[in-house]
Amino acid sequence: MKKNFFRYGVFIFLVFGLLTGCKENIDSVKNQSTSITKISAKKSTNQTTANHAKELVIKRDDVTGVRGVNTDKELLIAITVPQIDRFQLKTIEKNVKEELKKKYPDYKIEVSTDQKIFLELDILERKIEEGKTGKKELKKEFGNIKRLMKEEA
């Protein structure tokens, strides 16, 4: 009798633990927030185009984070997508690029889903926001990030 009671107790405890663990995982996926950083347009390097482009891209359901920087004629955008959409990275990247080309035909647009590019653009955005970057420095960093985008891992 004591053995059966012990077995049932362990069984109930394990089932309860599994159900509780799965519930928290589902809640964390539902509460993922979108990520966008706005850069001040009043600095010496005007980032209005990048800000508008980020607002446009973040509205998509398949994008969770956006970073972007622009120069006079070029726009670099890096996006993050939910884990479930990772199999369609190239398609999402292509669609975002086409959407931005329609909106900004005068700019040469580059879009990346690479996490390294996302982090590099995040660092550059912070430098611009803090005023630590002038036009010369921006073009240099911009060129470095473009070289990173062309490299294939």
Average pLDDT estimate for 124-143: 89
Query: 150 pLDDT exceeds 50?
Result: yes
Q: Is the pLDDT of residue 16 over 60?
A: yes
Provide the 3-class DSSP secondary structure of residue 40: coil
The pLDDT-based confidence of 8 (bands split at 50, 70, 90) is confident
pLDDT at 44: 57
Confidence (pLDDT) at 152: 64
Segment 33-47, tens digit of pLDDT: 556 666 654 555 788
More confident residue, 10 or 26: 10
pLDDT digits (tens, 9 = 90+) for 46-82: 889 999 999 999 999 999 999 999 998 999 999 999 9
Least confident of 42-51, 57-66, 92-101, 144-153: 42-51
pLDDT range class, residue 27, cuts 50, 70, 90: very low
User: What is the distance between the alpha carbons of residues 153 and 117, in angstroms, rounded to a whole number?
Assistant: 12
Tell me the helix, strand and coil percentages in the chain, rounded to 5.
60, 15, 25
pLDDT cut 70: percent of the chain above it: 76
Give me the chain's average pLDDT, please: 82
